[in-house]
Amino acid sequence: MKTAQDIIVRPHITERSTTEAAKGRYSFVVAPDATKPEIRQAVEQLFSVKVLSVNTVNCDGKMKRMGVHVGRTPAFKKAVVTIDTDPSPATYQAKGGRTASAARKYKNSIEEFGFGQ
């Protein structure tokens, strides 16, 4: 059984990911064998947010050289997670035809992402 800390390795911070974070899309480096439902559960558990969608991509390592020595940087799996930035209260039909609402206890951003917003 993998824990949430085993699935989410670290945030993937780039110039593009910082601009996307303002729209509610956060990038993470995840375990190579992690699936989308596992990533969704891990992010919801770690950061107390509502995940709308998860997109993943396997990134190959880049070719690097130092003098005559040629090598590759490590390959990794990246997940782009879209969260609900407007967690409005859920309304539903209660017993007797009354309309009831339940307050959602989700945050609308991830403050622990690695940069100030």
Look-up of token digits 């020595």? 69
In the chain, what's the furthest Cα-to-Cα distance?
A: 78
Q: What is the pLDDT of residues 91-103, one digit of tens each?
A: 777 777 788 776 6
- Report the relative pairing of strands 51-59 and 76-83 from DSSP bridges: antiparallel
**Looking at residue 88, what DSSP letter applies?**
P
Give the DSSP H/E element, type plus range, for residue 4: helix 4-7
All domains in the chain, ordered by first residue: 1-64+71-84 (3.30.70.330)
Q: What is the pLDDT of residues 34-50, one digit of tens each?
A: 999 999 999 999 988 88
Q: Any residues with CB less than 8 A from the CB of 111 and at least 6 apart, and which?
A: 117
Look-up of token digits 């824990």? 3
User: Is this model's pTM higher than 0.85 or not?
Assistant: no
> Distance between CA atoms of 38 and 98, rounded to whole angstroms?
36
Beta bridge partners of 72: 63
Cβ pair 14, 76 in contact under 8 A: no
Q: What is the pLDDT of residues 67-77, one digit of tens each?
A: 999 999 999 99
Look-up of token digits 């003098």? 67
